[in-house]
Structure 1
Amino acid sequence: MRNGNLAAACVLAMMLSACVGATDPAGDAAAGAAAGPSDDATIPRADGAAAVAALPETDDAGADDAARSGSGLEDKEGNPIALVPFDIQSVPLSSASLGELPFFSMPAGYGPVNRPDQRSFARFPFRLGDGLHWVEGASWNSLLGIDRDHRGDKEFSPRELRHNLEAVFEQAGAKQVFEGPLQRDFYYGPQLEAEIGGGFIEGVNLDAEAATTVHVIRQTGRNIWMQLSTHSHGAALVVVEERPFEASARWSGAFPHLSLPAGYADGNRPKQRDFDMYPFWTGSGFEEVEGRTYAADVRARERANSMHEVRRNLEAMMAEAGGVLVFEGRIPKEASDRYDSDLKGFYSDATGFGWDDYESRVYRVDLADGRQVWVHAALDYLSSGWVVAERKGFVQTAALLPASALKQQLDADGRVAIQVNFAVDKADILPDSQPQIDQVLALLREDPALRLSVDGHTDDTGNAGHNQRLSEARAQSVVAALVAQGIDASRLEAKGHGQSQPVADNDTEEGRAKNRRVELVRLD
């Protein structure tokens, strides 16, 4: 909601929309388990254990929370955080008429400080007992303060705001289940800083000891959790309408196999290479996979990005494909630094330059037809992304041109493309290119007056500046190879054109292959 629409008297927002007609997700575990195709599935791990793909809602979420937290949660100082179970049946049923998130209007003169963050599916750890309790579903969170229109004539009062909101919580049939300090450091520990401290920052960014209460509304078909924190100069509110997870992304048999969750789009144009190498971290080393590669940046279109929603959909797709979880966590910095920007640059929209800066998931999928697919997913609170590689041996698509054919085309057109293969994303000429180099040597030796420009070209995938430098380096490598065989350097020039002179459509595999070329151009 915008600030101007929130400066109403503090009453419960009696909206006309009806409650959803589902069974109680906390009281009916079977209903939760049936919510999506991956809800009761597990993803095999490379170490033989089972990684939870999607967990059904239960009355006592302690076991689920522990499974999802992996090795356990720690606060900012490294102290363990308890994951506290909760019996939803202890909350009386409410029949109050509620609409949609965030369900409540603000007291007169109060409203969000910035635009609220709203997510269609996320998870938030509510303060409970001596620790936290995970709740997932649709969420809304914001810092609260004086409404923009009243900042010159009204002072913030935490008592006024709290009394008003707790009054409407009570009118909605809510039960208070926690009262105590916010413990802000809980949300800035190593496991939660990105997802919660970042993604829900305007729900937890108050003093460490800010007074905090948690209320729960239980209705037939939904549970609603509210966490309100206040200190002397502001407040924060998190509201989650608990819902079972429903996967919206599906695995496809066609490359790149992964699809986007509902409400998400590619942040930038996805990039695809017909043949490349990408290193996938396995926990002990890198598996360098050659073949087709695909890189995509995944962002929410209208609502705030939800790292958890992307993660759950990825888990569902991997379960559907029978994928193996090879690694989860943060890739060590010293491992990430083994590869330079030349390799990472092309994939930076999807997985960045520093692979240690976010939570990673690495999967391997062995398809029934013998193909093997690897996925590296980068999970961050602002955006996510993934690189997909389908292992495939190199297939040469260009043909050797003998010296006579080179001369014939040079005489007719003044230029000819030659077949020279290089190491992936490098200027090193591969040994299988020597027969073509030998034919160029023969051409130059048969006509001592011939002078040539060796021109390098790339397709348009990746960074334009990087492509320019790569094309120049590859042209220079060919010139160096010819000079090393006795050709006078004054007869040769090296030029790089990067992606600026395509000869085919870069939107197709065939077109990109034609654009990646080395040409000989006759010099007058």
Structure 2
Amino acid sequence: MRKTMMVGTLAMLLSACGGKQETATDAVGSTDATTAAATDEAAATETPAAQSSLDKDAVHDRDGNPVPLLPFDINSVEASTAAIGELPFFSMPEGYAPVNRPHVRSHARFPFRLGDGLHWVEGASWSAKVGVSSELRREKEFSARELRRNLETVLQQAGARQVFDGPLQRGFYYGPQLEEEIGGGFIDAVNMDTGAQTTVHVIRQADRNIWVQLSTTGHDAGLVVVEERPFTATAKLLTEFPYLAMPEGYDQGNRPKQRDFDMYPFWTGSDFEEVEGRTWAGQVTKGERGFSMHEVRRNLQSMMDEAGGVLVFEGRIPKEASERYDSNFKGPYSDGTSFVWQDYDSLVYRFDRPDGHQVWVHARLEYGSAGWVVVERKELVQTAALLPADALKRQLDADGRVAIEVNFAVDKADILPASRPQLEQVLALLRDNPSLKLSVEGHTDDTGQAARNRELSQQRAQSVVAALTAGGIDAARLVAAGYGAERPVAGNDSEQGRARNRRVELVRRG
């Protein structure tokens, strides 16, 4: 018996269901009429779940040609009362199976082929490349006709109406607007010959609509099934920093990187705005075959609406702008926004907190992952205190080491002008004690990459040595050393602990 039945007992139920039934051959023959009807009736009721914020944007194919985004009157499809199970609603014919593990997303959107263009549908989705099942590949050959006739027959039994029959037009899915979300996210179903025979069927029921796109070539098939549903946000704005929550089923991946004070540049569309304050950078992850760029985008939009946020930028950051900041700067934020800001879709928001603080968000959206950087704009709270020369001497005599207040530019070894008074006191200490020799040691917290932390701490220690020798101190009395996060004096799990660990110390030599 061929496995053309629906999940569970669907085949038995379908054989007894009422309503108009067509053969697969009749349905294909009526394609031009049904497609024309769908286009003619476009001014009528449109499927509500297809009206996302990006539907109004122009879409172009890989060659730069515009692709029409077409409406569809769902009421033009006769309602079906067939008993249908759960996504993906039907099984493969005997001897056929997904080639790889299917992509199953709780909420995504897919542009189905319709007329000369595409029609957006969003909801729960299932997609896969289909071929001969692995255990039968030595004895069975793929037949597009066998697969297609089986699936079209069961769709007709479910009360489906065919609304498209034509070429896949692979280039539609690999244009600049759709390559990441669709060309990558639904790759198993759309990465096929551009002329692959493609049909689209729609099942309308009282409580849901089901869309099915099947593309076949001489050696494989691509299948997309979407149960159309309105979007429901699962991520709610948090009261505590970083204020953004994970959508349901997603997690933070690697441990997020949080800094008590730093700077991150947010692209505004014409230039960067460098925002200083408390920073957070992290991933938004889910198993790749369950990850939905659209679901992450919609949840972020919902949280920003809740916060009264302003969309500052949407699109791709220009390459020449991205390259203003090198990999050393981008490294601590790479889980959130990677090293190449121009290679993915970005969303930049800002919103004001009830306490008056302004918050900025840069979200990275790619087909298999996402992340964001959050900065709450705040002034630096000084945690280091100026130590006069006599106090430095007393602590060196007592402990053999003393931490000094030296502040540097973000992710650089440039000493800030505000540190000059402290360096003057170190110079006075060395002039008053000509036999004193010091090791100048740089330390960081554990935020960021260990190798970069060691490199930066060494460079900062060398900058302090250079400033002291420029003040007349013999270079033979000083050495520089950088230890990164290897020698903490406090835990790195709190703002206070991380602040104590970021320090420059003077250590007595001999």
Fold agreement, TM-score > 0.5: yes
Query: In the TM superposition, what is the alpha-carbon distance from 1:371 to its structure 2 partner?
Result: 1.0
Indicate which of 157, 160, 164 corresponds to 2:146: 160
Does the aligned pair in 2 maintain the 1:94–1:219 contact within 8 Å? Answer: yes
Counterparts of 2:281 and 2:75, CA distance in 1:
45
1:143 aligns with 2:136: no
* Distance in structure 2 (CA, Å) of the matches to 1:170 and 1:69: 30
Structure 2 residue 418 is matched with structure 1 residue 432: yes
Taking the aligned partners of 1:16 and 1:266, their CA distance within structure 2 comes to 40
- Say whether residues 1:491 and 2:477 are aligned partners: yes
Contact 1:423–1:429, Cα closer than 8 Å, also in 2: yes
Mapping 1:252-263, distance limit 5 Å? 252-263=238-249
Q: Superposed, which structure 2 residues align to 1:214-253 within 5 Å?
A: 214-253=200-239
Aligned AA for 2:444? T
Contact 1:12 1:103 (8 Å CA) reproduced: no
2:313 maps to 1:327: yes
Could you tell me how far 1:11 is from its partner in structure 2? 2.1
Tell me the residue number matched to 1:466: 452
1:316 aligns with 2:302: yes
Shift of 1:523: 0.8
Structure 1, residues 184-233: CA drift from partner, whole Å, max 9, x if none?
11000110000000000011011000000001111121111100000001
Kindly indicate whether the alpha-carbon contact (under 8 Å) linking 1:73 and 1:81 is maintained by their aligned counterparts in 2: yes
What is the distance in 2 between the residues matched to 1:278 and 1:69?
31
Partner of 1:87: 73
SS at match of 1:241: strand
Amino acid at match of 2:338: G
Write the deviation string for residues 440-478 of structure 1: whole angstroms up to 9, x where unpaired: 111111211111100000000011111111000000000
Q: How far 1:399 sits from its partner (Å)? A: 0.5
Query: Is the 1:65–1:133 contact (alpha carbons within 8 Å) kept by the matching residues of 2?
Result: no
* 1:11 matches 2:7: no
For residues 340 and 316 of structure 1, do their structure 2 counterparts lie closer, same or farther at Cα, with a shift above 3 Å needed? same
Equivalent position of 1:281 in the other structure: 267
**More moved, 88-97 vs 267-276:** 88-97
Compared CA separation, residues 121 and 292, structure 1 to 2 (3 A): same
Alignment partner of 1:294 out of 280, 285, 290:
280
Shift of 1:10: 2.3
User: Could you say which residue in structure 1 is the equivalent of 2:467?
Assistant: 481
Task: Give the unaligned 5+ runs of structure 2.
Answer: 11-43
Matched residues in 1 for 2:288 and 2:119: separation? 28
One-letter amino acid of the structure 2 residue matched with residue 68 of structure 1: L
Compute the displacement of 1:14 (Å): 4.0
Change in Cα spacing, 1:514 to 1:219, as seen in structure 2 (3 Å) is: same
Amino acid of the structure 2 residue aligned with 1:483:
T
Q: How many angstroms does 1:430 deviate by?
A: 0.9
- For 2:207 and 2:424, locate their aligned partners in 1 and report how far apart those are by CA, in whole Å: 76
Letter in 2 for 1:10: K
Segment of structure 1 superposing worse, 346-355 or 91-100: 91-100
> Which residue number corresponds to residue 202 of structure 1?
188
Distance 2:365 2:431 in 1: 57
3-state DSSP class of the match of 1:506?
Answer: coil
Query: Is the 1:15–1:97 contact (alpha carbons within 8 Å) kept by the matching residues of 2?
Result: no
- CA displacement at 1:410 relative to structure 2: 1.3
- Is the 8 Å Cα contact of residues 453 and 495 (structure 1) preserved in structure 2? yes
Q: Percent identity?
A: 68
1:300 is displaced (CA, Å) by: 1.4
Q: How does 1:510-521 map to 2 (within 5 A)?
A: 510-521=496-507
- Secondary structure of 1:388's aligned partner: strand
Do the aligned residues in 1 keep the contact of 2:257 with 2:447 (CA within 8 Å)?
Answer: yes
Aligned residues: 477
Per-residue Cα deviation, 1:330-349 (whole angstroms, up to 9, x for no partner): 11111111111121111011
Aligned-pair CA distance for 1:367:
2.6
Q: How does 1:413-452 map to 2 (within 5 A)?
A: 413-452=399-438
CA RMSD of aligned residues (A): 1.6
Q: Determine if contact 1:9/1:106 at 8 Å carries over to the other structure.
A: no
The answer for the alignment partner of 2:333 in structure 1 is 347
Deviations 1:312-371 (A, max 9, x none): 000000000000011101111111111111211110111011111011111110233321
> Does the CA-based 8 Å contact 2:197-2:216 persist in structure 1?
yes
Cα distance in 1 between the residues matched to 2:498 and 2:421: 24
Q: CA deviation at 1:12?
A: 2.1
Aligned partners of 1:235 and 1:497: how far apart in 2?
56
Q: Deviations over 1:411-459 (max 9, x none)?
A: 1221111111111111111111111111111111121111110000000
Q: Kindly indicate whether structure 1 or structure 2 has the higher relative contact order, using CA contacts under 8 Å at least 6 residues apart.
A: 1
1:70–1:422 distance in 2 versus 1, CA, 3 Å? farther
Alignment partners' CA distance in 1, 2:168 and 2:50: 23
Distance in 2 separating the partners of 1:245 and 1:66: 9
CA contact (8 A) 1:62 1:84 kept: no
SS state at 1:348 partner: helix
Counterpart secondary structure, 2:407: coil
Q: Which amino acid aligns with 1:12?
A: M
Give the conservation status (yes or no) of the 8 Å contact 2:404–2:505. yes
Residue 304 of structure 1: SS of its match in structure 2?
Answer: coil
Output the amino acid matched with 1:271: K
Residue 489 (structure 1) shift:
0.4
CA deviations 1:27-69 (Å, max 9, x no partner) are xxxxxxxxxxxxxxxxxxxxxxxxxxxxxxx931599658523
Counterpart secondary structure, 1:364: strand
Q: Could you list the per-position Cα deviations for residues 121-146 of structure 1 after superposition, in whole angstroms to 9, with x for gaps in the alignment?
A: 00000001111000000000000001
- Work out whether residues 49 and 229 of structure 2, in 8 Å CA contact, stay in contact via their aligned partners in 1: no
- Give the letter for the 2:286 counterpart: A
TM-score (normalised: structure 2): 0.91
Offset, 1:252: 2.0
CA gap 1:63/1:104 in 2 versus in 1, 3 angstroms: closer
Aligned to 2:17: none
Pair 1:186-2:179 in alignment: no
Aligned CA distance change for structure 1 residues 16 and 418 (closer, same or farther; 3 Å): farther
Letter in 1 for 2:2: A
User: What residue number does 1:393 align with?
Assistant: 379
- What residue identity is the alignment partner of 2:8? M
Q: For 2:343 and 2:107, how far apart are their aligned partners in 1?
A: 23
Give 1:304 shift.
Answer: 1.7
Is 2:348 the partner of 1:357?
no
Match of 1:438, SS? helix
Q: d(CA) in 1 for partners of 2:273 and 2:356?
A: 18
Q: What CA deviation, in whole Å up to 9, does each residue of 1:236-263 have, x standing for no partner? A: 0000011110001111232111111000
More helix by share: 2
User: In 2, distance between residues paired with 1:226 and 1:232?
Assistant: 20
